[in-house]
Amino acid sequence: MPELPEVETVRRGLEPSMSGATIMQADVNRPNLRWPFPDRMAERLTGARVERLRRRSKYILADLDRGETLLIHLGMSGRMTVSGDPLGQFAHTHPAVQKHDHVVFHMDNGARVTFNDPRRFGAMDLIETATAQSHPLLAKIGPEPLGNTFNEAHLVAAFQGKNTPVKTALLDQHIVAGLGNIYVCEVLFRAGIDPTRKAGRISAARVASLVPIIREVLAEAITSGGSSLKDFRQADGELGYFQHSFRVYGREGEACKTETCKATIERVVQAGRSTFLCPSCQR
């Protein structure tokens, strides 16, 4: 499932085509994805102007001039891609509509934005902009890791007395928004912390050190266009390439990238998910 860097990459890729533009026509080609689409979704979107595109955790939010916000989740295999040339620099034709192009936005600037989702685990909803943060999917999400409310004091307090492994704690969306399996593995490697250690038994100083590392890893991943392992594509259809910078994730049995380390990367299973670590560097 796309994590924060992938979703932020898609949001940034959509912005030139959608922000400030009007949806001249919305095509909704099926009644549902993970759950049913809202009533009259195509009608409510057609003619609406996108005032801004933002992200909350792993959700893209398009605020419309009608007082509604389009909430988008990419799910396991969802892609939002742009065709056409909204900047008027080149002449591009739109590709033929594909089998899994479930929602298509025809923008007034000539761009076409297509939501394609073969496995249909993605989702869209229309919610009131004024009360969007109280939506059940958004209400209990923790602070954004790249924002000011995510800081050392917050993370130290959240970890106090916590008996779950540190990896599980960092995956908890109530503690910090948007982190998933890939980036938590990479963060804990850079921090030199064993993913199986109990969160509440890590010193406050080491917990605090996670904050800048989390920001560093996420920033690098966004700059690289996210990680493309299976289905993820950027809004222009290109692959992300942060997967070429992985130090532990997916590298079971390979040599640790720390120059002075002779160990190999191991994989353990935590709560049904694969965790990758260096047994020598992470203690």
Catalytic residues: 2-3, 58, 273
Residues paired with residue 36 on neighbouring β-strands, in sequence order: 32
**Cβ atoms of 60 and 69 closer than 8 Å:** no
Is the four-CA dihedral 179, 214, 220, 274 of positive or negative sign? negative
Given the structure tokens 């490697």, which residue do they identify? Answer: 189
Residue type, 16: P
Residue type, 42: A
Give all strands (DSSP E) within 108-253, no chain letters. Answer: 112-116, 123-128
The strand order across the sheet containing 23-28 reads 23-28, 101-107, 112-116, 79-83
